[in-house]
């Protein structure tokens, strides 16, 4: 039986001459993978609002309130759903009342909403592709901690109800800091319902291993899955880590034929053809497809510790050359935009298969506490590994074996081998690329990805001036499916 996942599509028309049903039907069709099941309408004089969304909705005498959240996580109660939204995790709240429609997004940013408007029409949806099906060309992101109100008369108002403030570095002992981090992170994982069936995107690194240990301690069913080229770092690291933990692991092997066939689906799902985004999303997409076969309803991601605890080589350079205060500022800025840089992409790659996502490290209490940890405890150029030093200590205290906690890890697109496999897939399937050197072909990867997006009728795609010829079957399959 298919589970119902989160998502919303809606339209408010301030006049009667808008074909609302037709527009909403197109929007709903664009995210049919989310299997939304409930339809709501609210009339106000000559204006009307129609929404398709999750079944679990809260209604009061005068308002329609729809809460979009992951049903595998403990959610808001009727009394706290709006007033304490600043304290809630991974929710979108839509309220329709006498003033019009109000959109609100929780500060963690792990659930998305986009909107756009014309003189008489306001549309909003979980994915941009819903808005592509309308006549609205300029689309906006509902930012984390933001409220957008659109009145029945057609007036738009935006405001922030909460912001991610940069916390001051807390002067406390290392032991107390580790204890506080552990307590807060455990509370984040405890949001998972005991009866949830979860897949963990597993690379064998410290982030995903800690997630796997905590999910296995919490949930009825835990499924580890990794997507990697057979010679890539992730495959061997994941197998070693799973063996140490005693957990079963499913490995999806990347090969050029499979990758070429799914590239159009990945690009359409994540709504961008940017090369780095496609390379990162590909393993997420394939792993989530496997999670469906395993009967999972939520995919758990280890995204977050690299930004919170200085997990990249550039962080060591900043610390060494510019000092800890500059690194603290840099990490805060990275975390402030991670919803846009990472989370929205990853969530869409997972949702393409009708699955929910959970990002436990982005719980706001954990984020605030992590950003208050001194940079000197995150980076130590004299140690090995140099990065995420205190996070590795935290992981060990929460059940991650030392040999895994202290193992180095590369970026997803390199450690999984997705970057190389995408290049090889393009060389094998695009006319003339097999006559190029790999260096020459690598410079054209972005052009090919853009051309695929263009053939999928995605907006705002920059095509190359040079003509590209390749088999269109995989693209035709996607365009036929999306209509």
Query: Could you tell me the CATH number of the domain that includes residue 187?
Result: 3.40.50.620
Q: What Cα–Cα distance (Å) separates residue 265 from each residue in 71, 430, 479?
A: 26, 17, 9
Q: What is the pTM of this model?
A: 0.93
Using an 8 Å Cβ cutoff, are 207 and 307 in contact? no
Domain assignment present for residue 350? The answer is: yes
Q: Residue 460 has what pLDDT? A: 85
Domain assignment present for residue 221? The answer is: yes
Residues 183, 155 within the same domain: no
Q: Residue 2 has what pLDDT? A: 40
Q: What is the C-alpha separation between 160 and 146, in angstroms, rounded? A: 4
Closest by alpha carbon to 478, among 456, 449, 445?
456
Q: 326-354 as b/e, with b when 16 or more CB fall inside 10 Å?
A: ebbebbbebbbebbeebbbbbbbbbbbbb
Using an 8 Å Cβ cutoff, are 269 and 349 in contact? yes
Number of domains in the chain: 2
Domain assignment present for residue 465? The answer is: no
Residues 62, 124 within the same domain: yes
Q: Average pLDDT for residues 366-373, to the nearest whole number?
A: 97
Domain assignment present for residue 239? The answer is: yes
From 2-11, 107-116, 186-195, 284-293, the region with the lowest mean pLDDT: 2-11
Q: Residue 226 has what pLDDT? A: 93
Residues 87, 212 within the same domain: no
Identify which has the larger pLDDT, 336 or 236: 336
Q: Average pLDDT for residues 438-447, to the nearest whole number?
A: 96
Is the pLDDT at 369 greater than 50, yes or no? yes
Residues 71, 189 within the same domain: no
- Of 385, 415, 445, the last residue of a domain is 415
The per-residue pLDDT of the chain, averaged, comes to 91
- Name the β-bridge partners of 227: 252
Closest by alpha carbon to 407, among 275, 239, 257, 285?
239
CB atoms within 10 A of CB 246: 7
- Of 393, 415, 437, the last residue of a domain is 415
Residues 152, 196 within the same domain: no
Closest by alpha carbon to 254, among 55, 421, 110?
421
Residues 192, 331 within the same domain: yes
What pLDDT, in 10s, does the model give residues 252-294?
999 999 999 999 999 999 999 999 999 999 999 999 999 999 9
Domain assignment present for residue 444? The answer is: no
Q: Where are the beta strands (DSSP E) in 351-452?
A: 356-358
| Three-state secondary-structure class, residue 65 | strand
Q: What is the C-alpha separation between 36 and 7, in angstroms, rounded? A: 7
Is the pLDDT at 5 greater than 80, yes or no? no
- Of 128, 160, 192, the last residue of a domain is 160
Q: Which helix (H) or strand (E) covers residue 285, if one does?
A: helix 275-293
Is the pLDDT at 408 greater than 70, yes or no? yes
Is the pLDDT at 166 greater than 50, yes or no? yes
Helix, strand, coil percentages (3-state) for the chain, rounded to 5, are 45, 20, 40
Q: Residue 412 has what pLDDT? A: 56
Residues 341, 199 within the same domain: yes
Domain assignment present for residue 70? The answer is: yes
Is the pLDDT at 1 greater than 50, yes or no? no
Residues 232, 372 within the same domain: yes
Residues 252, 179 within the same domain: yes
First and final C-alpha spacing in the chain:
25
Domain of residue 307, residue span: 174-415
Q: Average pLDDT for residues 439-457, to the nearest whole number?
A: 96
From 52-66, 205-219, 322-336, the region with the lowest mean pLDDT: 52-66
Residues 186, 67 within the same domain: no
Q: What Cα–Cα distance (Å) separates residue 406 from each residue in 249, 326, 383, 393?
A: 21, 25, 10, 9
Q: Where are the beta strands (DSSP E) in 111-155?
A: 114-117, 121-125, 140-141, 146-151
Q: Average pLDDT for residues 378-398, to the nearest whole number?
A: 96
What sign does the CA torsion over 351, 308, 401, 233 have?
A: positive
Residues 369, 330 within the same domain: yes
Domain assignment present for residue 458? The answer is: no
Domain assignment present for residue 467? The answer is: no
**How does residue 362 score in pLDDT terms, banded at 50, 70 and 90?**
very high
Q: The CATH number of the domain where 83 resides is what?
A: 3.60.20.10
DSSP readout, 143-174?
-TTEEEEEETTS-EEEEES---PPPPPP---H
Residues 155, 187 within the same domain: no
Q: Average pLDDT for residues 376-391, to the nearest whole number?
A: 95
């Amino acid at each position: 039986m298919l589970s119902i996942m989160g998502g919303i599509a809606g339209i408010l028309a301030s006049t009667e001459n808008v074909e609302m049903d037709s527009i909403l039907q197109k929007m709903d069709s664009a995210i049919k993978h989310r299997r939304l099941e409930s339809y709501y309408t609210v009339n106000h004089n000559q204006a009307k609002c129609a929404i398709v969304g999750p079944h679990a909705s809260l209604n009061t005498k005068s308002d329609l309130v729809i809460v979009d959240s992951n049903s595998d996580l403990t959610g808001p109660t009727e009394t706290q759903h709006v007033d304490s939204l600043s304290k809630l995790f991974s929710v979108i709240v839509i309220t329709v009342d006498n003033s019009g429609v109000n959109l609100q997004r929780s500060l963690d940013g792990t659930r998305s909403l986009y909107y756009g408007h014309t003189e008489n029409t306001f549309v909003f949806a979980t994915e941009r592709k819903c808005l592509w099906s309308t006549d609205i060309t300029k689309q906006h992101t509902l930012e984390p901690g933001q409220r957008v109100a659109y009145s029945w008369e057609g007036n738009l108002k935006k405001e922030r109800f909460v912001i991610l403030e940069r916390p001051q570095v807390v002067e406390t002992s290392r032991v107390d800091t580790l204890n506080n981090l552990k307590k807060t992170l455990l509370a984040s994982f405890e949001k998972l319902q005991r009866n949830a069936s979860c897949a963990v995107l597993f690379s064998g690194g410290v982030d995903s291993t800690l997630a796997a240990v905590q999910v296995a301690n919490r949930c009825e069913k835990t499924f580890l899955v990794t997507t990697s080229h057979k010679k890539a770092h992730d495959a061997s690291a994941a197998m070693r880590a799973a063996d140490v933990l005693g957990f079963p692991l499913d490995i999806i092997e990347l090969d050029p034929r499979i990758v070429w066939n799914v590239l159009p689906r990945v690009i359409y799902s994540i709504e961008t053809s940017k090369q780095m985004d496609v390379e990162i999303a590909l393993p997420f997409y394939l792993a989530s497809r496997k999670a469906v076969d395993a009967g999972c309803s939520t995919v758990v991601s280890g995204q977050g510790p690299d930004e919170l605890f200085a997990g990249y080589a550039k962080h060591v350079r900043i610390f060494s050359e510019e000092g800890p205060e500059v690194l603290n500022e840099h990490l805060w800025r990275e975390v402030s935009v991670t919803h846009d840089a990472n989370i929205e992409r990853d969530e869409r790659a997972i949702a393409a298969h009708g699955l929910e996502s959970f990002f436990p490290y982005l719980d706001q209490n954990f984020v605030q506490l992590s950003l208050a940890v001194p940079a000197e405890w995150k980076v130590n150029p004299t140690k090995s590994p140099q990065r995420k030093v205190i996070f590795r200590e935290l992981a060990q205290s929460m059940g991650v074996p030392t040999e895994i906690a202290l193992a180095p890890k590369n970026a997803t697109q390199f450690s999984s081998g997705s970057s190389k496999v995408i290049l090889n897939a393009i060389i094998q399937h695009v006319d003339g690329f097999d006559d190029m050197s790999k260096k020459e072909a690598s410079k054209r990867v972005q052009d090919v990805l853009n051309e695929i997006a263009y053939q999928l009728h995605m907006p705002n795609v920059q095509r190359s001036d040079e003509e590209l010829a390749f088999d269109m079957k995989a693209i035709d399959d996607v365009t036929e499916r999306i209509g």
